[in-house]
Amino acid sequence: MSRQNYPKVSTELPGPRSQEIFDRQGKVFYTQMHQSVTCPLILDFKSDDELLHDVDGNTFANHLSAWGAAPYGSFPPSVRQAQIEAWDRYGMEISCFLQSPPVVELAERLVALAPGNLTRVAPTVTGTEAVEGAVKMAREHTGRPMILAFLGQYHGESTYLSQATSTEVSSISSGAASYAPGLVFAPYPSTYRVPFAKGPAPHDDTAVIDYIEQWLLRHQVEPTQIAGVLIEPIAGELGVYAPSQAFWDGLTRLCREHGWLLICDEIQSGLGRSGPVWAGDLWGLEPDLLLTGKGFAAGGQAMAAIIGTDAVMADTHVYTTGTYVWEPAAVAASLAGLDLLEPALENVKELERIGREVMTPLVEKYEQVGDVRQYGAWGAIEFVEDKVSQRPNSAVQSRFAHNILRRGVLGISDPGKWVYRMQPALTMDPDLYRWSCEQIVEAVGEVLTGS
Ligand SMILES: Cc1ncc(COP(=O)(O)O)c(C=O)c1O
């Protein structure tokens, strides 16, 4: 190991100072903002060696990367510089009314990066707005009312999308799920977890295509009523699940046969997170609309977009912009980030290699580790009761999450979930990534066998 600094945790979690702040939070914030359960520490500062320092003096390896919105580490100097220069030059400006050169340049860069024949860009501030806009465009373009979505996906929080967001029925969408019309669902496909399949994985996820064709289209909705298919090429919040090539071939066929638009939500999976530039590149997808966000911000300010075909977007009346959309400093940061993308992809390959090498053997070794998935700089460990039933084991996940945090690795663990996720900067030092994966292996051993 060549690094100087490794994480170190020396207090209870939360530590006393963090706890004081949580107590204050509990009095002033609404519920969702004062849950210390998922992340029991308060950030003091970050250092450029990808460590997070909490107010109690503990340090943690950063496997959050601001949920993917800081893909080039916490302080990429070129992003910082570009942002400051643009702010000094243009100040805050409303780009949907008064544009500056970088705004157009960014749209051109995005089109050049996009797959297939995507030629138009609609800027938005958040990913949620990009999804909303894409749904409206699909309906406008086809004149059809329905969207086919997949159970378990996450597309953001808005009155409408709470319906299309079934990842967290019990917490996020609960009560907000007023059953808006215009959506039909199939289960999210993956070879690890697919409904109606029994026994150990891998399963045939084209069962989901059969379900769409033989059940949904026969008994629930006519194909001519469906405007588009809204899908995450890799379902992030659900647990980093990916469909098979055969599933994508089936879905593409259905889209062609019935005139459905393929809307790929790459807000989390895109821009290097999954290995290639777009996760859809893994299967040669050619979406009609592609949504980007998170990593597109490059660690600067909120940025998202819809990229689409001429056919759908050249004459649309759908309005996605607003006061804060693509303001110049955010645009400059995003542009500087795109310059970092290609070199980062090399590092992502290395992180993927390390993750697979170090963590995959856990599946062979432990009955309760159902699956280890690593796509690019995106890792997931799925805890189950046993490999045959694949019943979720959130109790083990939660004990594991506590153990690994005490070791100084801060990944993504939600209460009640059975998948633990790692989403580091694409540029994370491979040494720190290897160290983190090794800690994970030890923590799993400790939790499952006590050794
Ligand atoms: C796949 C996906 N779509 C949409 C969103 C919503 O993006 P935002 O939080 O920027 O509104 C997210 C956020 O996690 C996401 O993961």
Over residues 213-221, mean pLDDT: 97
Mutate which of 172, 268, 320 to test ligand 1's pocket (most atoms within 8 Å of Cβ)? 268
Taking CA atoms only, the protein residue closest to ligand 1 atom 16 is 268
Kindly tell me if the per-residue pLDDT of 182 is higher than 80. Answer: yes
Most confidently predicted of 151-165, 166-180, 194-208, 264-278: 264-278
* Cα gap 241→233, rounded to integer Å: 9
Question: Residue 5: which pLDDT band, with cuts at 50, 70 and 90?
Answer: confident
What local confidence, expressed as pLDDT, does residue 166 receive?
A: 56
- The reply to whether omega before 189 is within 30° of 0 (cis) is no
Kindly tell me if the per-residue pLDDT of 235 is higher than 90. Answer: yes
What local confidence, expressed as pLDDT, does residue 150 receive?
A: 93
Question: Residue 2: which pLDDT band, with cuts at 50, 70 and 90?
Answer: low
What local confidence, expressed as pLDDT, does residue 180 receive?
A: 64
Kindly tell me if the per-residue pLDDT of 158 is higher than 80. Answer: no
Over residues 206-224, mean pLDDT: 97
Q: What is the DSSP string of 146-211?
A: EEEEEET-----STTHHHH--TTTTTTSTTT----SSEEEEEPP-SS--TT--SSSP--TTHHHHH
Over residues 137-143, mean pLDDT: 97
Kindly tell me if the per-residue pLDDT of 245 is higher than 80. Answer: yes
| Residue of 193 and 174 predicted with greater confidence | 193
Across all residues in the chain, what is the average pLDDT? 93
What local confidence, expressed as pLDDT, does residue 26 receive?
A: 85
Q: Which residues of 175-193 are buried (b: 16+ CB within 10 A; e: fewer)?
A: eeeeeeeebebbbbbbbbb
Q: Are strands 146-151 and 118-124 parallel, antiparallel or unpaired?
A: unpaired
Domains and CATH numbers, the chain: 16-75+342-449 (3.90.1150.10), 77-341 (3.40.640.10)
Distance from the alpha carbon of residue 258 to the mean position of ligand 1, in angstroms: 28
Kindly tell me if the per-residue pLDDT of 3 is higher than 80. Answer: no
Kindly tell me if the per-residue pLDDT of 397 is higher than 90. Answer: yes
Residues flanking ligand 1, CB < 6 Å: 67, 126-128, 131, 154-156, 232, 236-237, 265, 267-268, 293, 304
Contact 231, 276 (CB under 8 A): no
